[in-house]
Amino acid sequence: QPYSPCMEGQAYSDMPGPGPSALGRAAALARLLHQDCQQLLELFKERESFHFEHIPAGDRLVTIALCPEAPTSTEQVGHVRSALSRCLEMLECVIVREVEEMGEELEGEYETARKTVKDRLGHLLHSTGVLLENGEGFCPPSPEFQCTQVEGSGSFAGKLWTYKVLLELIHWTDSATHALHLLHSEREEVPEEQEL
């Protein structure tokens, strides 16, 4: 069942409004994370023996419906953050499944890249949470994703699901990059307008 949140998380109402530099850093982190996710997918495909390119894309694992008809750039960041939060939960399920399948936590290039993606995604979620001033852009929290919700069973089904999760990460980190860049551009213009 595709997940359709508006927004997750709690309001950071007690935090001061961030400046353009904080937004710039968040946008740069999103770009870096997007590249990390692309690299992780390539490492995953190299590790597996079958070709994922021939598998139909199918429905998205993570879908979000924008709450307002014309969302502001801040609300867009909030919606993307919600999707990334669900992606992190799914990635954590991927890690649990892969460790169980291997019988231990390996330390190869793929596992290192996977840890980097997980850590940076967590940092991006924290950074974007701080950027959403006074809870703006937040919708009610959604239920946490359970690993038992993964469709199918067996080795092939697990690998296919992992592949789809990695595609979601690439899609939503790209969306985060664009949303944060837009918000950064808008907030940079405010001081100039005030000087006129």
What single string gives the DSSP state of each residue in 127-180?
HHHHHSBTTTT-----PPP-GGG----SHHHHHHHHHHHHHHHHHHHHHHHHHH
Q: Considering only CA atoms, which of 18, 3, 13 is closest in space to residue 128? A: 18
pLDDT at residue 9, as a whole number: 33
pLDDT at residue 42, as a whole number: 93
Q: How far apart are CA 140 and CA 175, in angstroms?
A: 21
Nearest 5°: phi and psi at 59? -75, 155
Q: Considering only CA atoms, which of 192, 193, 185 is closest in space to residue 74? A: 185
Q: Considering only CA atoms, which of 146, 123, 131 is closest in space to residue 183? A: 131
Q: Considering only CA atoms, which of 156, 155, 169 is closest in space to residue 39? A: 169
Retrieve residue 24's tokens.
Answer: 């710039």
Q: How far is CA 122 from the centre of its chain?
A: 9
Q: Quick one: angle between helices 73-102 and 155-195, nearest 10?
A: 150
The CATH number that domain 20-191 falls under is 1.20.1250.10
Retrieve residue 43's tokens.
Answer: 């490492």
Q: Considering only CA atoms, which of 69, 36, 50 is closest in space to residue 166? A: 36
Q: Which residues pair with 12 in a beta bridge?
A: 133
Instruction: Give the domain ranges of the chain.
Output: 20-191
Q: How far apart are CA 106 and CA 103, in angstroms?
A: 9
Q: For 106-118, what is each residue's pLDDT tens digit?
A: 788 999 999 999 9
> Which residues in the chain come in under a pLDDT of 50?
1-17, 192-196
Q: How far apart are CA 177 and CA 71, in angstroms?
A: 17
pTM: 0.79
pLDDT at residue 137, as a whole number: 57
pLDDT at residue 66, as a whole number: 61
Q: How far apart are CA 23 and CA 1, in angstroms?
A: 33
Name the H helices within 103-154. Answer: 109-131
